[in-house]
Structures are given as C-alpha cells and as structure tokens.
Amino acid sequence: MHSIREPLSPYGAGTYNSLITVVQAVPLAAFLWVMVDNSRGGDSLVETFSKALSTLDWSIVPVNSLVKIVISILGIMTIWHAYATNDQFHAYRQKFLDTAIPFLFGLFETCVVLTIPSERMAWTSFWLMMTMILGMVAIWNMKFQTQNQRALQVFEDHFESDAVRVYEAVIEYCSASISILWRYAKYMFIAVLVSLPIGILQSVHRHYIDTIFIVVVYLCSIVELKINDIESFLSCIDDDDDGGGAVLQTVDVDGKSVEVVSRSYGRDSLEGGAIFFLPGWSAGGAHSLVRFCGHLASAADTRVVSLETKPVAGEKNSILIESMAAVNYIGGVKPCVVTLIGHSEGAIKVSHAIRCLKERSPKTKINAVILISPVGLFEHAPSALISRFLRDATFGTLILILRNFQVVGDLAVRASGAALDVVAHVASDVRRLRIGYVKSLLWRIGELSKIDPAWGDVDCPVILIAGRGDRVAFPVDMSGGGGRAASVRRSTLLDGRFVKASSVQIFMPFRYGVHGLIHFRAEQIARVCAYLVRRRLRHDARVGPGHLTPPPLPPEADNPRTAS
C-alpha cells in the first residue's frame, strides 16, 4: 500500500506542477513590471515606497495599491499551493479543460495585478470574483472526473485498504470547496456593486469602505479554504480515527422539538463506555472541535459523540431543554458507562444532563465530568459577561498570537477559523429563529451569568481545565501563586459548587490562557482528557467505583506555568 503522501500518478502530478509553475510566472512577471513602471508620469511604486521609508512620510503611500499588492501575492501563492496539493489525487487523464483552467488562472491573476496602480477597487473585486468562480469550476471538474468507477479503481490499486476512505475524503473536500468558493464569489459580487459608486464619490472613497469590505471577504475566503483544505479531510486517516459526519435529528422533550446534531468518532462499539462532548455557544461544528473529538477518540480508544443542540425558539430555559434533549439521545444509545465533557456553555448542559440521567437512566454510570473553560461556576452581571467575552476574543487572542510569534501563522489561522465557525453558526440560528434570535440570545446570556445550582448534584469526579487568564470562566484569579496556596484558594472559591463530587481537580494552562483554549490546543487538550479518562477507568477496575480517588498528579501538573 502506498502512502497518502504519494501521488496517484507521479508523472501527471509532476507535469501539472510544472505547468502551473510556468503559468504562475506570468502574473508574477506582471507584478514586477507594475512595481517599477513609471510610464504614467511621476514615481514608480518602488520609488514611492522607498521615499516613504527614507522620510517616514507614510501619507505618500497609496493605500489601495498597497492592499492590491498583498492580495496579488497572496493569490499567486494560494493558487500554486492548491494545485501542488490537489494534483496528488488526480485519478484521471488530463483533458483540454484541465489545461485551459491554469492558463485562465494566470490571465485573471494578471488582470488583478494590472489594477494595482489604480486607486479604484471595482476592477480588482471583479477579477477576484472571476478567480473564485474559476476556482469553483476547477474543483467541480476534479470532482466530476473523480466520481466514476475507473477513478475508484485507481484509488483501490494505490491505497488498497484505505482506498474508500481516501476517495470519500477527496469527494468531501471537493464539495466543501465548491460551497465555500460559491459563497464568497457572491460576496465579492456585492463588493463589485459597492465599489462602483464609491469609486465615483471621491469624498466617500477616502474612507476606504470598499477596500475594507473586499479585504475582509478575500481574507476570510482564503482562511476558510485553508481550514478546509484537502489535508484536513485526510487528517482522520492519518490519525486513524473514523467518523465525524454530522447527523441531524429532532428530539422530543415534553412536547417541544429540539434539533440535535450528532458527530461520532472512533470505534463503533459502546463496550467499555463512551464519551459525550457538549460544545459551547455556536461552536458545535467548529473545525477545532472536530479535531479535538477525533484526537480524543484515537487517544482514548473509545467512542466519542459530539452533541450540538440548537436553541429552542421562545423558551427562557432553552439550555435546560437542550440538556434534556442530549439526555434523550444518550438514553437512546444506552451506554453502560459515560464520561461527560462540557465546553464553555456546554458545561451547564452537562450539569443538567447529570441530574436528568439519574432520573431517566439510573443504570448508566457516570465515570467522570470534564469541564473545559466552563461558565456557570461564578456569577456575572450580563453586561460584564459580554464585555469579558469580547475582550478575551479580541485583545486576549491578539496578545496570545503575538506572544507566541514562533507559531503565529498557525494561531492566526486557528483563531480566524474559530471566528468564522461561530459567525456561520450564528447566521444559521438567525435564519432559523429570525427576529426571535435576539430575545433567545438575551435569555441565554442571563442563564450563563448565574451560578448553576445543578452543580450540587454532581457526585462523580470533576476535572476543570481553563486558561489562567480566562476571565469568562473564572472572573477572579484562581492561580493564587501556585502550590498549596493555589489549591486552598481554588477550593475556597469553589466552595458550595461540587458538594457531592468525589474529587475536584483544576488544571490551568498559562501559555494559552484564554477562553478559546480548546481552539488553539485541541490536540493537547484531547490527550490530557484521554489520559484522565483512562486513569479513572484503571482506578475503578482496581478498587471498584465509589468515592475513592486516584492518586493526585505531581505538584508540577498543578502549576499554571507548567501545565501548558
């Protein structure tokens, strides 16, 4: 069996890479010519930038031209990289369309480059839109020619036992990319319509409204394509974890219909128990959470099920109803032992779910509860909760990215991806609930701002994982200087929450100490959770289930500076 990294057709991949490299040289050459051209009179762009650097007079720099330079270079690199990775999975003979598309890419990119000297953005947005449409055609062509028996046979000859999984991953990648490119092509068409009048009204043009809109649309499209690149669809094969497909079903809770989206990972058998993950607000399908569940299933060697519940229209206690829907789902699969993991808002759902499980499925044993960046442990004023969340998501995340400059690119992509996922989920809820979404959101914030009384019913081991600087989960400083002083401070602050819990442990990473911890450290958090779950199971197998707790971790694991 060949490696996933080996191309299906070495000759075809090498030839296509050579073709795209030659074609991409054309817009790059046009870019160099535009930078030194002074045929319009005055200084060339290179001379203008040199003067600005020497005199530190940045007012002479044409902002729109600078933006177009960045867009042009980014576009050239993105298209070449897409071809270099995708042509490894071409399982068909090249046709004329396969030759024509790269040349059209070179033409459209050259047109984008030639708009650099102009201060207007209309033609730039038009050619960017055409490039996105052409990208959609290229991916559609790849999908169309791959969806036949002959192509599948090529995959089977190359990948053998993994052939079907790789084949399906490639098809899923094509479908996702077409959807993304079509969506952003429509946004870019709006940018064209916005840029036309703004280019004429010079007084408005100075505010760069159209430039900002085009930059946001273009960068978001590249980030989303990067997050959903072909490597992301193949990662489940690299990690040998199966699943992740979303299944939507409607669950009845006391006459109310609740939409539940389940995603399953790992082995099919529920023997030995399962882990149920309840994600936070508007983040159920976030790529980082999918990675977390996939790595958790692989590391813990068990079934992991993510349960995303949709807000219930017109209900003040929507979180409670959603928790009951999750319990009904868990009761339907009837696992003997469960571990519940709640992230952010999902922590409150976990607390309600435990109470409901005891009433409806008393034979189901809860192995442990893991709460990641939980809310509902401390009381906030609703306005303070919103303020802390926005401050953490903006300034906190920005400082985190700048502080870890050695991996700044990866962190920026993960942060942008998480933000795009949240926006997409919010937009979906707004379309579903319409004007009722605002009222539902305000009720939800009110629920998240209070201390959840259901914590007192949790009678199993509880593990808290939250960043040291996460003021959304912990509005007060929980570090206490480390060591025994920290443990005393934490137990005092949490007094009255987990009165029945057999043990409570807190881990506070320092380096990535923000509320979005799981989005930046999905793989590491998954390994920690898997270790804690396995340790609890080993303890129960050795001494039997009960209120005894396994030996504590060494002191350094409780130190917020070393537990990162």
Q: Between 480 and 420, whose confidence is greater?
A: 420
Identify the DSSP state of 340: E
Least confident interval from 228-237, 442-451, 454-463, 515-524: 228-237
Looking at 232-246, 283-297, 318-332, 363-377, which range is the least confident one? 232-246
> Phi, psi (5° rounding) for residue 463?
-125, 125
Average pLDDT over residues 280-302: 83
Q: What confidence score (pLDDT) does residue 558 get?
A: 39
The CATH number of the structural domain formed by 245-542 is 3.40.50.1820
148 vs 411, residue with greater confidence = 148
Kindly tell me if the per-residue pLDDT of 280 is higher than 50: yes
Assess contact for 445 and 282: CB atoms under 8 A.
no
Token pair 């409150």 is at which residue?
Answer: 348
Question: What is the spatial distance between Cα 16 and Cα 13, in angstroms, rounded to a whole number?
Answer: 5
Task: Judge whether 69 and 113 are in contact, CB under 8 Å.
Answer: no
Token pair 């499925």 is found at: 361
pLDDT of residue 7: 75
Which range scores top for mean pLDDT: 234-248, 405-419, 475-489? 405-419
Mean pLDDT of 269-289: 80
User: Is 248's pLDDT higher than 60?
Assistant: yes
- Model pLDDT, residue 88: 83
pLDDT band at 479 (very low <50, low <70, confident <90, very high): low
Q: Diameter of the chain by CA atoms?
A: 86
Task: Report pLDDT for 540.
Answer: 65
The predicted structure's pLDDT at residue 2: 53
Q: What share of the chain is helix, strand, coil (3-state, %, to 5)?
A: 60, 10, 30
| pLDDT, average across residues 309-337 | 82
The span from the CA of 254 to the CA of 320, in Å, is 12
pLDDT at 530 over 80: yes
Residues 6+ apart with CB under 8 A from 119: 62, 64, 65, 205
Give the domain ranges of the chain: 13-236, 245-542
> Could you give the CA distance from residue 180 to residue 511 in angstroms, rounded to a whole number?
33
Asked if 539 and 551 count as a contact pair (C-beta separation under 8 A), the reply is: no
Give the model's pLDDT for residue 105.
Answer: 93
Phi, psi for 462 (deg, rounded to 5): -120, 130
Instruction: State yes or no: pLDDT of 562 exceeds 70.
Output: no
What are the tokens at 41? 């009179």
Looking at residue 312, its pLDDT comes to 82
Q: What is the 3-state secondary structure (H, E, C) of 113-153?
A: HHCCCCCCCHHHHHHHHHHHHHHHHHHHHHHHHHCCHHHHH
- Residue 189 has a pLDDT of 93
Residue 238 has pLDDT above 70, yes or no: no
Confidence label for 287 from pLDDT (cuts 50, 70 and 90): confident
Task: Give me the residue label for tokens 């019913």.
Answer: 457
On whether the CB atoms of residues 516 and 392 are closer than 8 A, the answer is yes
| Backbone φ/ψ region at 426: left (φ over 0), alpha (ψ -120 to 50), beta | alpha
In the chain, pLDDT over 70 holds for what percent of residues?
85
Pick the range with the lowest mean pLDDT from 59-73, 101-115, 130-144. 59-73
Structure confidence by residue, pLDDT tens digits, 207-219: 678 888 899 899 8
Cβ contacts of 496 within 8 Å, gap of 6 or more: 456
Q: Has residue 195 got a pLDDT over 50?
A: yes
The dihedral built from the CA positions of residue 472, 475, 480 and 483, taken in this order, carries a sign that is negative
Between 477 and 178, the higher pLDDT residue = 178
Q: What is the pLDDT of residues 306-317, one digit of tens each?
A: 998 888 877 788
Q: Which of 19-33, 67-81, 223-237, 259-273 has the lowest mean pLDDT?
A: 223-237
Neighbours of 201 (CB within 10 A): 10
